[in-house]
Chain A
Amino acid sequence: MKQLKILFLVIITLLPLVLVSCYGTTQPTRGWSGTAFDDGIIYAGTRDGKVVAVNSSSQSILWSYIVTTTTSSGMSCGPTTAPTAIYTTPIVDGDLVYIGTYSGHVLALSMLARSQNLTFPQRGYGEWEWDCPIDNAKSNAIVADLLVSDDAIYVSSSNGRVYSLDKEFGDQNWESEVLDERHRKLWTSPVIQGDTLYVSTYDGHIHSLSSETGELSDWSFKSEVGFASSPVIYEDTIFLGSFDRYLYAVKIGSDELMWEFPQEKPAGNWFWASPIVDEGIVYAGCLDGKLYAIEAETGKKVWEFDAGDPIICSPVLMGNLLVIVNKSGTVYVFDLSAEIGDEAVPLKTISIGADVRNSFCAQEGLVYIRGEDNWVYVVDIDKGKVSWNFDLTKKEE
């Protein structure tokens, strides 16, 4: 009887735990790389660890490159080699495409070498790969978008440091000190103004660093709550979202908060995506599904729009048109030159029929969006519909 009882206990206790262990220990990291468009080519990182270049004229894959990594996932599941997740949006600069990976690498891919499918890296073509040190942290994953300046690339790492790399050879110029000792992970991108980098952290700091040496400058800002989004600078003011459901404005050099939005009670959720600022107006998408237009100087609401679903990616400006995409893949276009009342009415509303949580780009009336289904959708704003779409998992022709 007793043995049966204990056996029953063992089975009933362990079975679900073992199941949860196998299926639940490893949180899926699929990545949310966005799209870049340059010279008729769409670049995107996919959810299966590939960087893909698509010719928009022929609607075919020019080249793709897969990044893999070896991971061990719990006692019962064993180590596996799998494609690495890509969270950063490719950045095109000359003949090179820069990308950061969740496995802690920054890659400079040459379009020429990749289109010939040569072994990576081809130094002769200017290709390089940089391995981020783990540095006693849990991870060296690169989650935040890279910042590319004229001569350097700035990388935020999950080990808590910011790195500066030589753009041409991938050599490390400097590493900052650990900017967030408590969380380590720096999942927000730095922003540069003049020769100073500004970095927001989950422990509620905005740090300023010399872009030349990586040394901390005198000024930093401290909030009680962590910052959820990367900072954006407009006329010496930093705008960024916080985990207390407010959007903050901080004047560089000041210890005081300039304003927080909303002014009465917090928004319905986090301002996860970085806002954008144009002509004195801050446009901020919120995970509560609303897009807010706010006066940059005062923090007063100009108008708002309810997109129904969370807005995870930053808005994009294309001339007078402001484009946002919500999580369920509905594209809203606003004409900023027209009169907008308290409640904005979109000029166009177009659904791509796929979930979206990555950044997107827009050029010459077309919006390039990668869906969670690993397809690229090209939305024609004039026509108000998806012009064409393309499966990024398709084999190269």
Chain B
Amino acid sequence: MGPGDVWNLIIGNPILNVLIALSHILGGSFGLAIIALTIIVRLISWPLTKRQLKSSKALQDMQPKIQELQKKYGKNQQKLQQEMMKLYKEAGVNPLGCLWPMLIQLPIWIALYQAIMSALAATPESLLGLAHRLYSWDVVSQAIPLGSNFLGLDLGSSGNFILAIIVGGTMWIQQKMTQAPAVDPRQQSTSRIMLLMMPLMFGLLSLSFPAGLGLYWAVSNIIGIVTQYFVTGGWGYLKFRSPFQSTTAKGK
């Protein structure tokens, strides 16, 4: 048994079969199946997400102290790092805590990508290849082969600009809600670039991946925004500034 077989046995095949079964249960809609699977994945990773959100909230609350430290030790980066770590430790916050939900989801993304490609059986080889990956559940055999259309989207095709914009946009909002503004001007420009980089990359990836994966990302981001809003109690660092307000301020 090779690594590919082990991967399929543990992650690939369960996701594939659940996705196909969901599709049958949800009236043969593969798009609804992807949305349902996204919700399931989000529920499974909820304990980690909750921890991450709490970390974000704690970091948010610590911002005045962090800014103070940045002002105080701005010229001595080493000292600043040391003091910040001390502060994190005292508050019991792990600044890398938000990585875990992302890391947990990474194999799921890859398995989901493979499941979408396999389930839609875009080529004769992938249809034939499905035969040995399916469980003998009635709901699975009755769903095969799947239709790929959902709300005008072809879930097996790439290159959908609207979906790419939704993925990038929702990811930007989600990130913006947690990313604290930097005080140091150099750090400000770096964090601005970082804030744009991920949404931009995911937007571009959504263009080159099958739309089914883009749908997963978009729904996952929207769920992330909603839970973040309710757990952290608001829009966090995402400030909706009115252009009218800023003009008035400049006028003064």
Q: Which of B5-13, B43-51, B203-211 contacts A (4 or more CB under 8 A)?
A: B203-211
Assess A10 versus B114: contact at CB under 8 Å? Given A21-B209, A287-B131, A357-B128: no
| Residues 24-38 of chain A, each 1 if its beta carbon lies under 8 Å from chain B, else 0 | 110111101000000
**Chain B, range 148-166, C-beta contacts under 8 Å to A:** 148-149, 154, 156-158
Complex contact A225–B81 (CB within 8 A): no
Complex contact A9–B99 (CB within 8 A): yes
**Majority DSSP secondary structure for residues of B touching A:** helix
**Chain A, range 334-390, C-beta contacts under 8 Å to B:** 357
Residues on the A chain within 8 Å of B122, using CB = 27, 138
Assess A10 versus B117: contact at CB under 8 Å? Given A25-B158, A28-B123: no
| Residues 175-203 of chain A, each 1 if its beta carbon lies under 8 Å from chain B, else 0 | 00000001100010000000000000010
Give the Cβ gap from A52 to chain B, nearest Cβ, in Å.
21
Q: Which of A253-261, A265-273, A294-302 contacts B (4 or more CB under 8 A)?
A: A265-273
Residues on the A chain within 8 Å of B95, using CB = 1-2, 5
Q: Does B32 count as interface, using CB distance less than 8 angstroms?
A: no
Question: A9 is contacted by which of B147, B198, B204 (Cβ under 8 Å)?
Answer: B198
Residues on the A chain within 8 Å of B154, using CB = 138
Q: Does A249 count as interface, using CB distance less than 8 angstroms?
A: no
Q: Does A12 count as interface, using CB distance less than 8 angstroms?
A: yes
Which of B103, B136, B156, B204 counts the most chain A CB atoms within 10 A? B136
| Complexed CA–CA distance, A342 and B223 (Å) | 58
| Complexed CA–CA distance, A77 and B23 (Å) | 31
Complex contact B142–A76 (CB within 8 A): no
Q: Which of B34-42, B189-197, B240-248 contacts A (4 or more CB under 8 A)?
A: B189-197
Residues on the B chain within 8 Å of A2, using CB = 95, 179-180, 182, 191, 194
**Chain B, range 78-99, C-beta contacts under 8 Å to A:** 81, 84, 95-96, 98-99
Question: A24 is contacted by which of B99, B113, B125, B157 (Cβ under 8 Å)?
Answer: B113
| Complexed CA–CA distance, A272 and B208 (Å) | 32
Complex contact B128–A21 (CB within 8 A): no
Question: B208 is contacted by which of A12, A16, A21 (Cβ under 8 Å)?
Answer: A21
Complex contact B208–A76 (CB within 8 A): yes
Q: Does A66 count as interface, using CB distance less than 8 angstroms?
A: no
Q: Does A57 count as interface, using CB distance less than 8 angstroms?
A: no
Give the Cβ gap from B208 to chain A, nearest Cβ, in Å.
3
| Complexed CA–CA distance, A183 and B155 (Å) | 12
Complex contact A9–B102 (CB within 8 A): yes
Q: Does B104 count as interface, using CB distance less than 8 angstroms?
A: no
Count how many pairs of residues, one from A and one from B, have CB atoms less than 8 Å apart in the complex: 121
| Complexed CA–CA distance, A66 and B28 (Å) | 40
| Complexed CA–CA distance, A307 and B194 (Å) | 58
Q: Does A14 count as interface, using CB distance less than 8 angstroms?
A: yes
| Residues 294-319 of chain A, each 1 if its beta carbon lies under 8 Å from chain B, else 0 | 00000000000000001010000000
Chain B residues touching A, range: 35 or more
Give the size of the chain A interface in residues (CB under 8 angstroms): 48
Residues on the A chain within 8 Å of B106, using CB = 12-13, 16
Assess A269 versus B131: contact at CB under 8 Å? Given A13-B106, A138-B157: yes
Q: Does A224 count as interface, using CB distance less than 8 angstroms?
A: yes
Give the Cβ gap from A244 to chain B, nearest Cβ, in Å.
4
Residues on the A chain within 8 Å of B198, using CB = 6, 9-10, 13
Give the Cβ gap from B127 to chain A, nearest Cβ, in Å.
7
Q: Which residues of A contact B (CB under 8 A)?
A: 1-3, 5-10, 12-14, 16-18, 20-21, 24-25, 27-30, 32, 74-76, 87, 138, 143, 182-183, 187, 202, 224-226, 243-245, 266, 269-270, 272, 287, 310, 312, 357
Q: Which residues of B contact A (CB under 8 A)?
A: 28, 81, 84, 95-96, 98-99, 102-103, 106, 109-110, 113-114, 117, 122-128, 131-132, 136, 138, 141-142, 144-145, 147-149, 154, 156-158, 179-180, 182, 187, 190-191, 194, 197-198, 201, 204-205, 207-210
Additional 20 contacts, C-beta under 8 A, given A266-B141, A272-B131:
A2-B182, A3-B194, A5-B96, A5-B99, A10-B198, A13-B106, A21-B205, A28-B123, A28-B125, A32-B124, A87-B124, A138-B156, A183-B147, A243-B141, A243-B144, A245-B136, A272-B128, A287-B132, A310-B131, A357-B128
